[in-house]
Structure formats: C-alpha cells, structure tokens
Chain A
Amino acid sequence: DGGITQSPKYLFRKEGQNVTLSCEQNLNHDAMYWYRQDPGQGLRLIYYSQIVNDFQKGDIAEGYSVSREKKESFPLTVTSAQKNPTAFYLCASSMEGGRGYTFGSGTRLTVV
C-alpha cells in the first residue's frame, strides 16, 4: 500500500539539542511539506519541496532545516535555535498542483 510514514511517533528533546524527524513516502509524489500544529491554531507551513534537491521556506522556517536528497524522503531537523519546539509535526506530500495531498500520522516532539 502506498503511503507516507513519519517516525518516530513520539520524540523527546533536551534543551540545546538538535533532533531530526523522518518523513518517507512511496506515493511517487513530487512535492513534500512540513507543518507544525499547536493547540487552538491551524497548521502552519515550515518548509516545502517541490522537487528533489530544492526546497523553500514556509511561514515559520526559523529554527528548522530540511533536505531533499531523494524524492521519497524529506527529513526535518529541529535545531537548538527553535525556542519553542514542543508541538505536533505533520509531514505531507502531493502531486503537482496539490493533487492527492496526503498527510503522515505525525510526530509529537516534547522538550524536556
């Protein structure tokens, strides 16, 4: 079955540490996205990539970094520069023009 997989489901980070969230898709989608979800707010776009080896900042990119070395993979690194990283992170992918938009099951990141 085709789908989009995020791992881990839960992640704990100490102050000052970088952590990387994994996102893999086998839908043959060109575009991939990372969102952050906080209680009482709509999803906010962190980064997106429309093609391999290219990515663009979204609305809240500060303190985050990404790479897109393979079509199937779009990992997100939450750096120590992100001052309030505790949130639910969602990865998504789509075909050209936003068709077939599919979300992963999310990673909950908590700073301890």
Chain B
Amino acid sequence: KNQVEQSPQSLIILEGKNCTLQCNYTVSPFSNLRWYKQDTGRGPVSLTIMTFSENTKSNGRYTATLDADTKQSSLHITASQLSDSASYICVVRGFSGGYNKLIFGAGTRLAVHP
C-alpha cells in the first residue's frame, strides 16, 4: 500500500534551535517528494521538491534530504524562528489507483517557543 509516514507527530523547540523532521514512504513507483509548510487555517505552501536523483535541496533555513534507496526524507530547520510554527507535510508523487497522484503524510506540527 502506498503510504507516507511522518515523525514526530508534534514537536516543541525553543527559538533559535535546530530541528529535523522525518518522512518515510512506501510509494512506488516514485516520481518526486515535496515538503510543504501549512500555517493554521491556510493552504500548504511548497518548500522543496526533490526528484529521484537529488540528495539535498535547500530553501533558506530549510534543507531537505532524500535517500531514494531507503525511501526516507528529512527536513532540517536551522535557527528556528517563531514564524516557523506550522505543520510540515511530506508529499510523495507516485502512481496509485490508476493515475499519478500526490500522497500526503499526516504532517508534523511544530511549535517554536520564545
């Protein structure tokens, strides 16, 4: 079954600290992996998109890694800010149910405290 699992479910860190969010997937065949940031009550906003051949991609203080062999990805946030408080969603594009689709993880809810 095509699945995307994220850990931890929720995380609390202090402002200025780093953190790493994990994503494991079983989607096959794999097309690409995306990380989104979703503020409460808003739509998700894309942070990174990685294809099979990419190991690392950065977007400011956000760095995503991908290991296509172990089907794992991580999102590292450096020097966290209060505005980083949001849900972070890992999404894998693959072929399922007869069509190409995005398969969403349940997200990690991050709270950054002062």
Contacts and interface: CB of A to CB of B under 8 A. Distances in A.
Interface residues of A, number: 21
Interface in A80-104: 88, 90, 92, 97-98, 101, 103-104
Nearest to A106: B43
A103 B36 CA distance: 10
Contacts of A44: 104
Interface in B88-103: 89, 93, 97, 99-103
Contacts of A43: 44, 89, 102, 104
A42 B43 contact: no
B11 interface: no
Contacts of A59: 97
Interface string A26-38: 0000000000000
A45 B42 contact: no
Contacts of B103: 42
Contacts of B104: 42-44
A105 B106 CA distance: 18
B43 A101 contact: no
26 contacts: A6-B43, A40-B106, A41-B106, A42-B103, A42-B104, A42-B106, A43-B44, A43-B89, A44-B104, A58-B101, A59-B97, A88-B41, A90-B43, A90-B44, A98-B31, A98-B100, A98-B102, A101-B34, A101-B46, A103-B36, A103-B43, A103-B44, A106-B41, A106-B42, A106-B43, A108-B41
